[in-house]
Each structure stands twice: as C-alpha cells, then as structure tokens.
Amino acid sequence: AQKVTQAQTEISVVEKEDVTLDCVYETRDTTYYLFWYKQPPSGELVFLIRRNSFDEQNEISGRYSWNFQKSTSSFNFTITASQVVDSAVYFCALSEARYSNYQLIWGAGTKLIIKP
Amino acid sequence: AAGVIQSPRHLIKEKRETATLKCYPIPRHDTVYWYQQGPGQDPQFLISFYEKMQSDKGSIPDRFSAQQFSDYHSELNMSSLELGDSALYFCASTLRSGWSPLHFGNGTRLTVT
C-alpha cells in the first residue's frame, strides 16, 4: 500500500540553523512522483518541488535542498540558514503514475517553528 | 502569474444549512481537484474533474456534490452541514498532460456552528 511518513511532528530551531525534514514513502510502483508543499500560518498550500522516481539527482533552490534516495525510500528536505518566514507546516506527498490523476498520498506534515 | 482563486475565503454556516464553494482554476488548466483539510490534519482528496467531467471520487460524503462548468470553474455544494464539516477546503488545478504540479488556491475556511 502507498504511504508517506513524516515522523517529525514538530521541529523547533533558532534562526540561521540548518534543519532537515524527513519523508519516507512506500509504494509498489516503479514510476511515481514525490512532492513537498509548504503551508504557512495563513493556510494556503504552496508547491515547492516535484521529483519523479527516475530522477535521483539532488536539487537545490536557494536555501532549500532535497535529497532523494530510492534505496531508503526517502525524500528529505533541508533548509539552510533558516529564517522566521520559513515557519510553516511542510507536507511531503506521493503520487503514483498508474493513477491518471492526482490522488496524492499525503504525509501528516511537519510543523517547523523558527525562533528569532 | 494568475493563480487558483477560491471564494469565499471564509464562510460561517449553521448546522443543516447549505454552502457553495467556488473555484476558478489557472487559465488553460483542464483538471480541478477538491481537498478537505480538517484542523491539524493533512488534506484529504474529495473529488476531481477533467474537462468538465468527474474523473475520480475520494472520501466525499453523499451530502456533497460538485461540478465543473463550461468555463472550467468548479463549485462544491455542501448540504445538511454538520459540525464535522468545519475545515479548510482547497481547490487545486493542473494541466493533466505532462504531470505538471498541482497549484492550490488559498482555500475556503468553513466553520459550521
């Protein structure tokens, strides 16, 4: 069965620290997509990244980086030099390609608190 | 760039009343999804539409219905509201081909009293 686990319910760090949010997934499919979404206190869901299962290259976007490792079924998200504006709930999600639409399987989310 | 627009942003209804939520997808997006997010929970898929036809159904109660109109906007109709329907309702749109990402609206916060 498909499943996404974000074991860290809440993380609290001081500004400028680096922080890594873990995401472990389960799927029987060989073709799938992984996502990270950010939900700030205002409530909207903001798309951060999509990664397909054939692309294990790590990605960096400014202070954000993602480490995709198929061997451990993990898709971890690191924020470098965190800022207060990074405070939000971060969701990892999985979508299997055999579905013709976005039936995203969501993790429970990790609440990230960045203290000034 | 244009984003997904949802209205209203906030809605307060009483038990047993009816609510209608609206969603305007990003122009040229042909697929719309509705999600429900309860307090402290991850979003749950309700229903989706592709080219104005319902394409899939998730955990949508029978009291809810939805449709997508000729201009691609979508409406989620909720009847006989219950306290447990209080949640954030998201609409998301995408272009089905090419696996473009889901773009979410800001959500409608429904409070049932």
DSSP A34-94: EEEEEE-TT---EEEEEEETT----EEETTEEEEEEGGGTEEEEEESS--GGG-EEEEEEE
Q: Please tell me which residue, B107 or B100, carries the higher pLDDT value.
A: B107
Surface of B (10-49) touching A: CB under 8 A: 31, 33, 41-43, 45, 48
> pLDDT confidence of A5, banded at 50, 70, 90?
very high
Chain A hits for B31, CB-CB cut-off 8 Å, are: 101-102
pLDDT of A56 reads 82
Structure confidence at residue B86 as a pLDDT band (50, 70, 90): very high
pLDDT of residue A101 exceeding 60: no
Q: Do the chains contact at B102 and A108, CB–CB below 8 Å? A: no
Per residue in A9-58, pLDDT (tens digit) is 999 999 999 999 999 999 988 888 899 999 998 888 998 998 888 888 88
Q: Is the pLDDT of residue A87 over 60?
A: yes
Cβ contact (<8 Å) for A50 and B56? no
Instruction: Note whether B1 contacts A: Cβ–Cβ < 8 A.
Output: no
Of A21, A51, A18, the residue nearest A34 (C-alpha): A51
